[in-house]
Amino acid sequence: MFDITNIKGMAAPLSSLDLQSSIKLEEFKALGTELKTVDFADGVNLHKLYLPSTVTQLELRHAGALNKIVYNSNDLYDDENN
């Protein structure tokens, strides 16, 4: 799992992530961030994906295991219900 939920207060906001070398990644959580672009590995083993409303570009190729995408325009995150 890669979890950057609600990460804030950095000198430069995290706006893009290149995860192309993380083919075994199964879960990615970024709600409450200012993330705009995410690039995943071709064939990533991603099962769950949680994205903030700020995302404008997403690269997903051959992600056959993906069964849950949460895109929350209000960026509200409640771990008990997700």
CA distance 76 to 82: 11
CA distance 82 to 80: 6
**What are the respective helix, strand and coil percentages of the chain, to the nearest 5?**
5, 30, 65
pTM of the model: 0.81
Is 66 part of a structural domain of the chain? Answer: yes
Is 81 part of a structural domain of the chain? Answer: no
Domain containing residue 54: 2-73
Q: Please report the pLDDT score of residue 74 as a whole number.
A: 62
Of 9, 7, 34, 40, which is closest to residue 69 (Cα–Cα)?
A: 40
Is 47 part of a structural domain of the chain? Answer: yes
- Encode pLDDT of 57-71 as tens digits: 888 899 999 999 888
Q: Please report the pLDDT score of residue 2 as a whole number.
A: 87
Is 78 part of a structural domain of the chain? Answer: no
Is 82 part of a structural domain of the chain? Answer: no
For residue 41, give the DSSP letter: P
Number of domains in the chain: 1
For residue 72, the one-letter residue type is N
Is 30 part of a structural domain of the chain? Answer: yes
Statement: residue 13 has pLDDT above 90: no
Statement: residue 43 has pLDDT above 80: yes
Statement: residue 79 has pLDDT above 60: no
CA distance 48 to 4: 14
